[in-house]
Amino acid sequence: MARKEKIEEYSGPAGGWGSMKSVTRHMLKQDAVRAAPLLPKQNKQDGFMCVSCAWAKPEPPHAAEFCENGAKATFFELTGKRTTPEFFTRHTLTELRTWTDHDLENQGRLTQPLRYNPETDRYEAVDWSEAMAEIGRELAAIRSRDPKRAVFYTSGRASLETSYMYQLFARIYGNNNLPDSSNMCHETTSVALPETIGQAVGTVRLEDFDQVSTLLFFGQNVGSNSPRMLHQLKDAVERGATIITFNPLKERGLVRFVDPQNPVQMLTPNETRISTLYHQVRAGGDIAVMVGIAKALVALDDEAQAQGAPRVLDTAFIAQHTAGLAEFDAYVRAQAWPDIEQESGVSRGDLEVVAGIYAKSPSVIGVYGMGLTQHKLGIDTVQMLTNLLLLRGNIGKPGAGICPVRGHSNVQGQRTVGIAERPELVPLDRLAEQFGFEPPREKGLNTVEACEAIVAGEVDAFVGLGGNFLRAIPDRDVMEANWPRMRLTVQIATKLNRSHLFCGDVAYLLPCLGRIEIDRQASGEQLVTMEDSTSVFHKSRGMQEPASEHLRSEPWIVAELAKATVPGESTVDWDGWVGDYGKVRDAIEGTWPDKFGGFNRRIHEPGGFPKPLPARERVWKTENGKANFKVPQALHASFDPGTDDKVLRLITLRSNDQFNTTVYGYRDRFRGIEGTRMVVLMNQGDIDRLGLKEGQEVGMQTVADDHVDRRMQGFKVVPYDIPAGCVGAYYPEANALIPLYQHAERSFTPAAKSVPVRMLKPEPGIV
């Protein structure tokens, strides 16, 4: 389908009328008008939790507790369009592989279980019972050879109940191969924070935004990816709080916001300025930024000491609660300003101003997203942020803390209920006792390791509980080529996506209920639960009739898979659980009584109920019982070899019109890019220097040392306000350029925010 392309600067704020127009257009396009009455129930106690982001749900909620992108997500899920078996009589998978992500999902909801027929190259309708029987036989056969040759992936949307059942199924099957979307996302957080503050998640709750005096905002695009958070930011700014942002791009939501729910703001040109200071850090330059701020802070502290003034560092906190300051202090003093300026792209003067504000702020929150986690030294970067906060005791006091903004609506919760490839994170003895089986103790595969194992021919079966694995992972071309070597592929999904177009010898596509649909089981309508970015558990009840009578709930599907594959190998009452999800919640409480005590009762409390956060109470569950300063390995977090000025750092970006690989449309309104996603955003100086022209089509080639030639063509050059040496392109389109082995050290999160690339002119040949 030809689309009109338009690239021009967007002058509006985030939110406002632009957002209202966009929501209405999506509702009509998706034929989802009947879903409109449900929006007031979104993120409310008596309603459903948004299927888009994981941002916190305030109590009491705003009159409308949804945003432009949350409404789009609802309409896209409750679309009137259907992908029926008849659709596949018209299209082979070979043909569908030429379609875009948008066109695939835009066919609407899957309606029936499907089995791939290699002879016709099509999906064909199949009965549930037949599907489950064959999948069970295949999985059992693989298990009898080696249970480690199957992988059980989860995307972060499935409920706590489904996730708990799924990890049990995998463990009864005999492995810990439970990679999940978090491996590509905040896994860096989950490895970094336990070492510094003794917990894997943030310390901030919503009430802290009422007391915060300064927010340091790193690499998170709030206007597109967690827009409801703009309410807290706007309120904080109006109270006089300062927001200081570090981001290579001037993201609109971090600059200005008009509250679409506030009639006064909508009718007057009254925008709220969000960021007081905005620094366009180089991709991967955040360690240098924070070292600079810390260095300036230490200098201020020296000065205060010399003058006998009150100390700038919180010495009482540091003495009582932390370890490692001396080494960190020595490191910071030893770093030279020219190096810090070079790596960060921010001047000493600017960083000193930030340090000055930080030094005077009684309570500071550090917020971050993929801009920090998706780098080679992502862990060092996140730990550098905790260093900075610890210097002034900004963890474990009101209005302060660290705030990783999670992605998928239940990605954090899945980890809480056992989706983890690292067995030490799960109370396996308790599971053994509860369910009468011997859980495997060997470490399982994370996402990158699962990909490597598939390429090495060491995986026979892949089961995907949601998501779009092949599109979300790095090295797409290599992975697509190797995928069909597997014996069995099973995808549980709501919409058709590219991952479904690559099949093992035996392949099934199983359609499930979405979260917003009514889920009727033996004991009546069910509710499910999830955990938000601030570690609060919420309930969610489906409210719309299912898209097809053939859909089954995720708990039902997982239970049937387990019954067909590992019958009688545990005491799990799969049917009883499916009949009443409250029994699954009781089992979860049995596994983690400290976190889920009173689960079935407390989930009905207004605003949900919080998970205990030890670091919030200044209890440090680290090895030494202290909060730890950590010295970073380098000043920049990237793979960039550094000396060759033709090598640029590629940042892969989300538009305002997508949820991960689900591309709603082609309007990245805030960045002024419409009608196309095949663009490369470039600094004008780099365009000139490399002899390129605005609007020209170019390619990119990854700089890698594994002799694999990763190149893509067809990106249009768009001059953009981005630091020299950095370029931007959209995810997932650009994923073929990311090498699997270029991931964050130790967390294995793919380094999607600084891929070293060279630009290619359309004729082969390197610029």
Kindly list the residues in this chain that would bind ligand MGD in the complex (CB under 6 A).
Answer: 52-53, 69, 105, 155-157, 181, 184-185, 218-221, 224-226, 246-249, 251, 281, 283-284, 286, 369-371, 374, 405, 407-408, 465-469, 472, 492-495, 497, 512, 514-515, 554, 651-654, 658-662, 731, 735, 738, 752-753
In the complex, the smallest distance separating the C-beta of residue 236 from Mo ion, rounded to whole angstroms, is 25
Residues written for the chain:
767
Closer by beta carbon to ligand MGD, 370 or else 700: 370
Decide which of Mo ion, ligand MGD, none touches 715; Cβ closer than 5 to 8 Å per partner kind.
Answer: none
**Alpha helices by DSSP H, 146-245:** 160-173, 187-196, 222-225, 229-238
How many Å apart are CA 70 and CA 50, to the nearest integer?
6
Closer by beta carbon to ligand MGD, 380 or else 554: 554
**Alpha helices by DSSP H, 99-186:** 101-105, 128-145, 160-173
In the complex, the smallest distance separating the C-beta of residue 172 from ligand MGD, rounded to whole angstroms, is 20
Element (H, E) at 366: strand 364-368
In the complex, the smallest distance separating the C-beta of residue 369 from ligand MGD, rounded to whole angstroms, is 2
* Dihedral angle computed from the Cα positions of residues 148, 153, 154 and 160, in that order, rounded to the nearest 10 degrees: -10
- At residue 315, the 3 state secondary structure works out as helix
In the complex, the smallest distance separating the C-beta of residue 482 from ligand MGD, rounded to whole angstroms, is 18
- Hey, how many other C-beta atoms are within 10 angstroms of the C-beta on 123? 29
Decide which of ligand MGD, Mo ion, none touches 219; Cβ closer than 5 to 8 Å per partner kind.
Answer: ligand MGD
Closer by beta carbon to ligand MGD, 324 or else 366: 366
- At residue 173, the 3 state secondary structure works out as helix
Closer by beta carbon to Mo ion, 185 or else 391: 185
In the complex, the smallest distance separating the C-beta of residue 182 from Mo ion, rounded to whole angstroms, is 7
In the complex, the smallest distance separating the C-beta of residue 650 from ligand MGD, rounded to whole angstroms, is 9
Counting Cβ atoms within 10 Å, is residue 194 exposed (0-12), middle (13-18) or buried (19+)? middle
Q: Taking every pair of C-alpha atoms in the chain, what is the biggest distance, in angstroms?
A: 83
> How far are the Cα atoms of 35, 110, 445, 534, 707 from residue 739, in angstroms, in the given order?
41, 32, 18, 32, 11
How many Å apart are CA 470 and CA 459, to the nearest integer?
15
Decide which of Mo ion, ligand MGD, none touches 682; Cβ closer than 5 to 8 Å per partner kind.
Answer: none
CB environment 109-121: b (16+ within 10 A), e (fewer): bbbbbbbbeeeee
Closer by beta carbon to ligand MGD, 510 or else 717: 510
How many Å apart are CA 313 and CA 374, to the nearest integer?
30
In the complex, the smallest distance separating the C-beta of residue 232 from ligand MGD, rounded to whole angstroms, is 15
In the complex, the smallest distance separating the C-beta of residue 485 from ligand MGD, rounded to whole angstroms, is 20
Closer by beta carbon to ligand MGD, 249 or else 258: 249
Closer by beta carbon to ligand MGD, 226 or else 322: 226
How many Å apart are CA 328 and CA 629, to the nearest integer?
6
Decide which of ligand MGD, Mo ion, none touches 22; Cβ closer than 5 to 8 Å per partner kind.
Answer: none
In the complex, the smallest distance separating the C-beta of residue 465 from ligand MGD, rounded to whole angstroms, is 6
Q: In the structure encoding, which two tokens stand for residue 377, read together?
A: 């030294």
* Closest-approach residue to Mo ion (CB): 407
**Alpha helices by DSSP H, 566-639:** 574-579, 581-591, 593-596, 599-602
Closer by beta carbon to ligand MGD, 261 or else 434: 261
> How far are the Cα atoms of 149, 454, 479, 482 from residue 457, in angstroms, in the given order?
9, 5, 11, 8
Contacts of residue 79, defined as CB under 8 A and 6 or more positions apart, other chains included, come to 30, 31, 32, 108, 109
Binder among 185, 201, 543, 737 for Mo ion (CB under 5 A): 185
How many Å apart are CA 210 and CA 399, to the nearest integer?
7
How many Å apart are CA 536 and CA 555, to the nearest integer?
22
For residues 260 and 16, is the Cβ–Cβ distance under 8 A? yes
Bridge-based pairing state of the strands 82-83 and 14-15: unpaired
In the complex, the smallest distance separating the C-beta of residue 586 from ligand MGD, rounded to whole angstroms, is 23
Decide which of ligand MGD, Mo ion, none touches 286; Cβ closer than 5 to 8 Å per partner kind.
Answer: ligand MGD
Closer by beta carbon to ligand MGD, 506 or else 513: 513
Decide which of ligand MGD, Mo ion, none touches 753; Cβ closer than 5 to 8 Å per partner kind.
Answer: ligand MGD
Closer by beta carbon to ligand MGD, 377 or else 627: 377
Closer by beta carbon to Mo ion, 115 or else 186: 186
Decide which of ligand MGD, Mo ion, none touches 756; Cβ closer than 5 to 8 Å per partner kind.
Answer: none
How many Å apart are CA 76 and CA 27, to the nearest integer?
8
Task: Please tell me the count of residues contacting Mo ion according to CB under 5 A.
Answer: 2
In the complex, the smallest distance separating the C-beta of residue 749 from Mo ion, rounded to whole angstroms, is 10
- Hey, how many other C-beta atoms are within 10 angstroms of the C-beta on 653? 24
Tell me 309's DSSP state.
P
Closer by beta carbon to Mo ion, 143 or else 654: 654
Strand partners, 699: 760
- Hey, how many other C-beta atoms are within 10 angstroms of the C-beta on 129? 11
- How much helix, strand and coil, in percent to the nearest 5, is found in the chain? 40, 20, 40
Closer by beta carbon to ligand MGD, 309 or else 518: 518
In the complex, the smallest distance separating the C-beta of residue 73 from Mo ion, rounded to whole angstroms, is 14
Decide which of Mo ion, ligand MGD, none touches 166; Cβ closer than 5 to 8 Å per partner kind.
Answer: none
In the complex, the smallest distance separating the C-beta of residue 131 from ligand MGD, rounded to whole angstroms, is 15
Closer by beta carbon to Mo ion, 242 or else 658: 658
Binders of Mo ion in range 406-445 (CB under 5 A): 407
List the helix and strand counts (H, then E) for the chain. Answer: 30, 34
Instruction: Answer yes or no whether residue 198 interacts with Mo ion by CB under 5 A.
Output: no
Closer by beta carbon to Mo ion, 472 or else 615: 472
Strand partners, 14: 257
Candidates 79-87, 184-192, 274-282, 374-382; binding stretch for Mo ion (CB under 5 A): 184-192
Bridge-based pairing state of the strands 711-719 and 679-682: parallel
Decide which of Mo ion, ligand MGD, none touches 199; Cβ closer than 5 to 8 Å per partner kind.
Answer: none
Decide which of ligand MGD, Mo ion, none touches 400; Cβ closer than 5 to 8 Å per partner kind.
Answer: none
Candidates 224-232, 399-407, 435-443, 538-546; binding stretch for Mo ion (CB under 5 A): 399-407
In the complex, the smallest distance separating the C-beta of residue 289 from ligand MGD, rounded to whole angstroms, is 8
How many Å apart are CA 91 and CA 69, to the nearest integer?
31
Decide which of ligand MGD, Mo ion, none touches 659; Cβ closer than 5 to 8 Å per partner kind.
Answer: ligand MGD
How many Å apart are CA 752 and CA 749, to the nearest integer?
8
Closest by Cα among 660, 648, 634 to 728: 648
In the complex, the smallest distance separating the C-beta of residue 407 from Mo ion, rounded to whole angstroms, is 3
Decide which of Mo ion, ligand MGD, none touches 44; Cβ closer than 5 to 8 Å per partner kind.
Answer: none
Report the interface residues with Mo ion, using CB under 5 A. 185, 407
